[in-house]
Amino acid sequence: ETGVTQTPRHLVMGMTNKKSLKCEQHLGHNAMYWYKQSAKKPLELMFVYSLEERVENNSVPSRFSPECPNSSHLFLHLHTLQPEDSALYLCASSRTPGEKLFFGSGTQLSVL
């Protein structure tokens, strides 16, 4: 039990679909993150939220839209994705930005 719950575990979607990934942390942390992990590549930071405010956006395409309604919940809204967006998407949290991360179990996304 990592304290970070992420759903769904697996997602297959077409390029015209709209879907959302959900993340919830039960650790009382103030920072939450979305990472992308493609095969044979290091983890890529997508978004960072600190106390519900976005503090970093690493030039992520607008077809990925994050939402952080409170410090315990984080969403990643997906629309009109491309096949190259297929990857493992990981949510994480930390006590404050830059501290050690605790990850959710990830969503394995396949875009057809």
Partner 1 sequence: RKEVEQDPGPFNVPEGATVAFNCTYSNSASQSFFWYRQDCRKEPKLLMSVYSSGNEDGRFTAQLNRASQYISLLIRDSKLSDSATYLCVVSRTSGSARQLTFGSGTQLTVLP
User: Contact positions toward partner 1, by CB under 8 A?
Assistant: 2, 40-43, 45, 48, 50, 55-56, 88, 90, 96-106, 108
| Distance of alpha carbon 34 from alpha carbon 90, whole angstroms | 6
For residue 96, the tally of other CB atoms under 10 A from its CB is 10
Closest distance to partner 1 from the beta carbon of 61 (Å): 20
Cα angle at 9 between 91 and 2, to 5 degrees? 50
**CB nearer partner 1, residue 75 or residue 102:** 102
**CB nearer partner 1, residue 48 or residue 78:** 48
| Distance of alpha carbon 5 from alpha carbon 99, whole angstroms | 19
**CB nearer partner 1, residue 23 or residue 81:** 23
Closest distance to partner 1 from the beta carbon of 80 (Å): 26
Closest distance to partner 1 from the beta carbon of 2 (Å): 7
Written as one letter, the residue type at 9 is R
Quickly tell me which residue has 């103030």 as its tokens.
30
